[in-house]
Structures are given as structure tokens and as C-alpha cells.
Amino acid sequence: MFPRPAPGLRLATATGLLALVGSLTTGAWADPHARTPPLSPVAALKPAAARITHVSSAAGATTPLAGYAVQSTAKVGDSPAAVSSPGYPARGWYPAGPRSTVLAALLAAGVYDDPFRSTNLAKIPKADFEVPWWYRSDFTVADTTRRTLLDFSGVVSAADVYVNGHQVATARDVTGAYTHHELDVTALVRPGVNTVAFRVRPNEPSKDLTTGWLDWLQPPPDRNMGIVRDVLVRRGGPVALRDAHVVTKLAVPSLSAADLTVRARVRNDSGTAVTAEITGSVGGTRLRRTIRLAAHETRTVAFSPADAPGLHLTAPKVWWPAGMGGQPLYALDLTARVSGTTSDTAHQDFGIRDVRAPLNSAGARQYGINGRPLLIKGGGWSPDEFLRWDRVYAEDRLRYAVDLGLNTLRLEGHLEPDEFFGLADRLGVLTLPGWECCDKWEGQVNGTENGERWAPADYPVAKASMAAEAARLRDHPSVISFLIGSDFAPDARIEKNYLDALRAADWDLPVVPAASDKSSPRLGRSGMKMTGPYDWVPPNYWYAKREGGATGFNSETSAGPSIPTLDTLHRMLTPAELDTLWQDPKARQYHRSPSDTFGTLSLYDEALAARYGAPTGLTDYVRKAQLAQYENVRAQFEAYGRNATDRTDPATGVVHWMFNSGWTSLHWQLTDRYLDQGGAYFGAKKANEPLHIQYSYDDRSVAVVNNRHTAEQDLTARATLYDTDGSPRYDRTVTGVSVPGDGAHSTPLILPSSVAGLSGTRLLRLVLSDAAGREVSRNVYWLSDEPDVLDWQRTTWWYTPTTGYADLTGLASMARVPVAATATTRSVAGTSTTTVTLRNTTDGLTPSLLTDVHLVDGRGAPVLPVRWSDNEVGLWPGESVTLTAVYRTADLHGAAPRVRVSGWNTPERTVPAT
């Protein structure tokens, strides 16, 4: 994250026995699409005593436990042997999903009120989670002739493990959210019902290598203690296949060939020597190998083009990020047989791509994929606060990232389950996983920040965590790096352990020592910067080539607060809290941050009032907030986009802090917890258009940025300046504009420093047309004679003070203009598309500014998620625009769709969209 005095949390690990299978997060998910978020799960949990997992007897089967019964040890007086024995009466225990923190289970059971509303979260007693909790699950086994193993990671923070009344592991062994464990329980398993029980220890991120929340949100009272990845019951014969993976080497830049190397560990779990036949297939090539294994011996089997020529692929199907190409995946399948009988199987999907990230001449980390340069345009990812996993909800957010034109999501800790990375693979979203700051993960190197210094036992836990995550993530083409540090780089001992673990896992991707400008002994400089800001700065800040401005790779930064829509605010705050929100800038805002630094909205509110005028009510406050967030987020991405191909000190990457929030938040989000969209969302979407015309706050230039691979020719750029009443004062058209591809830009014109007759607040309309005269990009700015003035000498780690503000108060004088709207809807195979045509019908000259369209149901509630072709548009008199919205038909909940049209100076109205 970043240096800050706020309390932090962290992650833990334990020494695992083998390789890894994982899936993060947890049980009941509150429906993000309902008007009032329920606390019941999507699929109702069965009574605790009835949640029995039926385990397959097939060799190679991996069956996840279906769920648990959970209870505090303070309320259980029985012995561990009794609790972990079949038939134990778990009366009064709470049902939990297969991946569930303690608090997630209690929320699903309705024990507490909606934690995302008001200050309900603060009312949950922390003392209830300061003792261990039992997790108990029953499973049935029909055939005990096969071996049975428990395979898991994701215990937060540590656990004693029992099976059928016997302890099989201690919390000293099973410690850490990311360590992987495989326990052979064959000797304890009986035909019929069996029981596994975990006595999970409380989580303390400052002391354990686990997970924490820093200052993103108010931390959960249970600190996410629980089991947040699947616990798998593995079945097999005498020989086990583990760690099956494919190392790819792509010919760059031709992309004409790729070499595949297949590796897997083959382990003899029996007490006698065996001969194993290993067969399989990958990319249409058949594989076969016979090996002899001594009792309990493990060997690595490898296949390469040298012994399997088919592993040299010609014209391979290459994986690309979204917008750069397709996302084809290959599959590896292996089978181990002993005496002709299947003993175990393994499967792994993978992609073929080449990722490089050297330091450029300016010392910045410069990513490239498949031989093409890549400007990282990203956001910081947050899981649900209670680590509840919902695949549909995760996919919705990933699709939003693609919709915004982002190519990367950074995961600082909170490394999501396998399904997340599988979705990212299929959708073409790159990921930057890494360890988190401000807790035990960096406690050895972070000086005065939170996190205890490491004890001898922490080093093997950290190394085991790195080994497990490397093995889990390496085959996902969406993963392009691992950041082994965040605010601080590891010291020599920690770095060596990490690098040794990565090397042993065949990790062939860039390893970055830190997300800040730090160095480690072997890797050297990070090539990244963490200079902020994290609180409000004006749009012109991003164009200064210093601090957080558009140069180098900024791993986490934004202008801080992001006030959600009125619809979301009414869901998350009480009427009294809503009054305080717009009336008292110095009030502590529970839904901003637990940090003293970010506890209020004072910087943001001061700027909002100074630039746009003091708010006259809640609606006016939110209206001005959306305008401000649109211009600021747009400027952040536009500045980095324009500077990506500078000859000296270019911009190489920017991660908006953050992409989303894990709860109902007032800051650091491009989309809110309910997936509603406002100014921040559509400002980012506008800035990241494939072919984009934009204004530069530093030198008044108009640039055309081409994010497509191919060059564009014969474009026409037009810039027009207007008074706020719509009177045109300056108009210039430039034809024959050309711009190379891969993020290059051209500058067809520079606006004059002064225009006769133009008022202090003005509007700028930019239009880019292709050779056929079709409009391909439109951008509207609101500008001022008075610039925002930054006091660079008083810059802190979280912002640069503003001593003078742009005067945009003239926007308040804009006449209200009517916008006509017609809409129709077509539904096919569960997906609906609503087409909306807007038209400015005023008789005067005034445009409609930031005209917003929301798809709503019969009650007027937003239908979410939804992906718009464009939104929050500017329309001049007589102009019309057609927008499309794509969404799940089921999210209408049987209602007829309608569209609600509003804007800066447009009266709100709702029209049918049937």
C-alpha cells in the first residue's frame, strides 16, 4: 500500500507439506444487485448437521468440503476428540460455506444487521473473535482401499486439525493464509461418515503472515479469521501426481513458434517400490513415460521438445490482454497408472505469451507483452470485506475493468481464489499480485510502521507462502509479475528465500522488489514509484512530471474521495449521516477510512466548494461530486496515456487507487460496492478509449492517442471553445491527422492562451472524425481562466496542497435544457440490450453537460451491473446520441426496463424502455 501512520493488518503462512491447490474467500454473499442488500446467502445454507460431503472414490478425484458448522471455543466445553468425531451433536452451531470467515457465517445466519449500512459494523463485538473457533465438517467415503488426503491452504491465521477424534496437525504446522498443506489421513478414514475439524486461531496481521485491511475500509471485527479456500479431499492410488505445469517459451517478436516444457512431480505414497506409467496430452501431443519409484520416493518427470517434438509448436495460439488480441488457452492432462490401473490424474490450463519488464533508460519499469510495449492502465483490486466469494460478482467487476479500458488489476495481498485468475485469463485482464504492506509481511524492513519484526519461525512460513502462490499462479497468462514487496523491499535473507521458492516453482515472469521506489540486494531497483497522491489534487496535477504526475510507473495513486451516486448513498447512510455528508466537511466519515489521515472529506469538500460553489443540498453536493470526479479521473489516465511515448522519462504505468471497494465506501473507487457507476467510472472509460482525442492541462495542446495496434490516417480533429451559455468563441479544425499505433499520440493543435470575449468559465468540445467523416471520439471539458495552483514545496506522502482554485462557478449559471429520450429493449438468451437515443431539444444555444442515463426497474432502483457504450455525455442543441446498455435480463427481477435521464443542467425524467 503506502507509508502512513494508520493501523495496518497483514498476512500469515505455514510450512506446507506439498504443492498447492487453492481458492480464496468465502461463504454467503449479500446480493449486490438487490435494492436493500440482504444478509442471507445467495444459496441458502443447509442446517449445520446436514452438510455432509460425499467424496468420490475415483482415482484422482478432488472433492471440496461442502461447508462447516462453526462455533466459538468459548461456548464448546467438549474435548477436541469429541468435537472431531462422527455423530457429535453440533447443536446451536452456525452453518458456514466451504470458504467462510467466522463473521461471514454469522452474517449469513442473520446474527448482525447489515454491516455495510451506517455504523452497524462498529456494533459487532470484537471480543467474540479473540478466542479460537471450531470449524467442523462431515464427509462420507465408500471405498477405503484408496488413499485419502486433505489438501488445503487459506487458513487465517492458524489451526489445529483433527480427523475422527485424532489430531493430524498442529497450529505450529498449519499457519499462514498462503501456505499449502497436504495431510495423509488414509489410516484414519473409515467407510461411511468421517469428520474433520479445524480449531482456527484468531488472526493478528501485525504478528502473523496472513491478511489485513490497512486503511481501505473499517476492518472486520473478526479480522477475517476462518478458512477462506477450499479444503479438498483427494483420493488416489499408490502413486500421486502433483505440481503439474507447463513452462512456455514464445518466439518474440515473430510469434511464429513456441516451445513447451511439461513438468510434474510423481510421488510413491506406498511402502514398496512401484513402476508408474505417466501418460498425457498437451497441445495435441501425446506424452508417455515409465518410471521406477522406490518406497516413498518423489521424482520429477519432464517432457520437452527434445524428447517430444510435438511440444515445439508452430503458429501457436498466443494469449493477449483484452483489446490487443484473443485469449486462447491450452490444456495439460496427465494420468499415472500402476499395473494398468489409474492411480492419479492431473489437469492444468495455461496460456502462451511472453512478458518482459526491464527498466528503461529513465529507470522506470517498462512492461511489454508478446513483443509489444504495454502501458499499464490499472486499478487496485479489493475483495469483499468478509472475503465472501461469488463468481458472478467477481466476473461482473472484471468485465467492468475491460469496459473501462483498463488492462491490469493490482492485488496487494488478498490473493483471490483460482476462479478469479481463471476469469482474468478468459477475459484478458492482467494481474499484478504481491504481498501487502504495513504489517508482518514487511515488519522486518518497514521501520516504524505496523508489523512486528520477524522471528526465526517466520522465514520458512514466508518461503512456503511464496512457493505455494508461485505454483498456483504461474500457469495463468493473466499473471504478469509478482511484487515481493509493497512499500518496502525485502532484505537479503527474505529476498533469497522468495527467489529460491520462485525458481523452484519454474516462475518465469518478472519479479519486482517493491511497489515503491526501493531496491533489494539481488533484484536491484523496483522501477516503480509510490509518491501518491491519495487525497484530492486538481486535474492539472497529473501533467506535472514530478511526484505522482505522469512519468514512470505509479503503483497506486488517485485524487482520493469518490462520492458514489445518490442511489448508493441512500443504501449506505442514514438520513442524519447524509445531512452531515454535505454540510460538515470536518466530520469523521466512518465510510471513508479508519485512518486519521483519511478520516474526513475536508480537503475534497474545500476544493469542491471553491471550484464549483458551496453545495446547496445533498443532491447538489452529489451532482458536483460526479462532475469533479469525472474530470479528475479522466485527467489522471489521459496524462499517463499522452506521456507513454515521450522520448525522455515516459509514463510506463499507473494504478488508480483503487478500482473497487470491499464495502460501502466514500473513497478510492471507480465503481462502488453495488456496481453503480458515476463520474469516476465514466471519466476513466472516456480517457481509455481505443482512439481518443484529449486536452492537456499543462500546455493547452489537443492530442490524439491511438491505443490500437495499427496506425490511423486521415483523421480530422476539431476544437471549439464556448461560453457557458453556449456561445461559440473559438473554433478550429485540423485535417489529415495521422497517429502511429501502440499508444502513440500526435498533437494536431494547441489552443490559444486567450480568446477575445470568452468568459472566465468556458466549455471545450473536442471531436475526432475518421476519413469517412464518422465521429470516433468526443470529449467535453469545463475550464477556467483561473488555474489550480499547487504548492509543491509542501507536498506530503498523501497529497500536494492547493493554494488557488480554478473558478468553475460559472457552470452554475448554465440554463437548464431539455433532453428528449427514447428507448427500446431487446432480450436474447438471458441478456438484454437497451438502446437509448438522447437529443438536446432546447431552442437556445446551451448544451447539456454530463448527461447521465441510468437503467432502472419499476421501483426506480438501478439495474446493475450494466455496461454502457458511453454515458455522461455532452450534447449541443439539436445534437443526438445513441447509447446502448447490456445487462442480465434477470436483474430486472421481472420488471419492465426504464431509463432515468438527468445531468448537470438537465431536468430528471424517466421514460419506458420496453
- Show Cβ contacts of residue 887 under 8 Å, excluding neighbours closer than 6 positions: 831, 832, 834, 855, 863, 864, 865, 866, 867
Q: Is 887 helix (H, G, I), strand (E, B) or coil?
A: strand
What number of CA atoms fall less than 13 Å from residue 898's CA on the CB side?
14
Please answer whether residues 897 and 889 qualify as being in contact, where contact means their C-beta atoms are separated by less than 8 angstroms. Answer: no
- Please report which helix (H) or strand (E) contains residue 349, including its range: strand 341-350
Please answer whether residues 241 and 346 qualify as being in contact, where contact means their C-beta atoms are separated by less than 8 angstroms. Answer: yes
The reply to whether 879 belongs to the active site is: no
DSSP string, 578-621: HHHHHH-TTS--TTT-SSSTTS--HHHHHHHHHHH----SHHHH
Please answer whether residues 389 and 374 qualify as being in contact, where contact means their C-beta atoms are separated by less than 8 angstroms. Answer: no
Strand order in the sheet with 62-64: 62-64, 231-236, 147-152, 181-184
Query: What residues pair up with 908 in beta bridges, in sequence order?
Result: none
The reply to whether 130 belongs to the active site is: no
What are the backbone angles phi and psi of residue 537, rounded to the nearest 5°?
-140, 160
- Please report which helix (H) or strand (E) contains residue 636, including its range: helix 618-642
- Strands of 658-774 (E only): list them: 691-695, 701-706, 712-723, 728-739, 744-750, 761-769
Provide the 10 A C-beta neighbour count for residue 624: 25
What are the backbone angles phi and psi of residue 286, rounded to the nearest 5°?
-85, 140
Q: State the amino acid at position 167 in one-letter form.
A: Q
Strand order in the sheet with 744-750: 691-695, 701-706, 744-750
Q: State the amino acid at position 563 in one-letter form.
A: I
Question: CA–CA separation, 168 vs 629, rounded Å?
Answer: 54
From the number of C-beta atoms within 10 Å of its C-beta (0-12, 13-18, 19+), residue 845 rates as middle
Cell 492444468: give the residue.
348
Three-class HEC string of 781-802: EEEECCCCEECHHHCCCCCCCE
Q: What is the largest CA-CA distance in the chain?
A: 94
Strands 147-152 and 192-200: unpaired
Query: What residues pair up with 826 in beta bridges, in sequence order?
Result: 833
Please answer whether residues 278 and 264 qualify as being in contact, where contact means their C-beta atoms are separated by less than 8 angstroms. Answer: yes
Q: CA separation (Å) from 269 to 245, 467, 468?
A: 21, 22, 21
Residue among 380, 555, 409, 412 at smallest CA distance from 9: 412
Query: What residues pair up with 731 in beta bridges, in sequence order?
Result: 720
Residue among 653, 770, 627, 640 at smallest CA distance from 694: 640
What are the backbone angles phi and psi of residue 394, rounded to the nearest 5°?
-65, -45
Q: Which residues of 264-275 are buried (b: 16+ CB within 10 A; e: fewer)?
A: bbbbbbbeeebe
Please answer whether residues 208 and 158 qualify as being in contact, where contact means their C-beta atoms are separated by less than 8 angstroms. Answer: yes
Please answer whether residues 139 and 119 qualify as being in contact, where contact means their C-beta atoms are separated by less than 8 angstroms. Answer: no
What number of CA atoms fall less than 13 Å from residue 398's CA on the CB side?
25
Kindly name the residue from 487, 676, 872, 891 that is annotated as catalytic. Answer: 487
Q: CA separation (Å) from 494 to 200, 415, 434, 520?
A: 27, 20, 14, 10
Kindly name the residue from 556, 672, 723, 807 that is annotated as catalytic. Answer: 556
Please answer whether residues 705 and 692 qualify as being in contact, where contact means their C-beta atoms are separated by less than 8 angstroms. Answer: yes
Catalytic positions: 487, 556
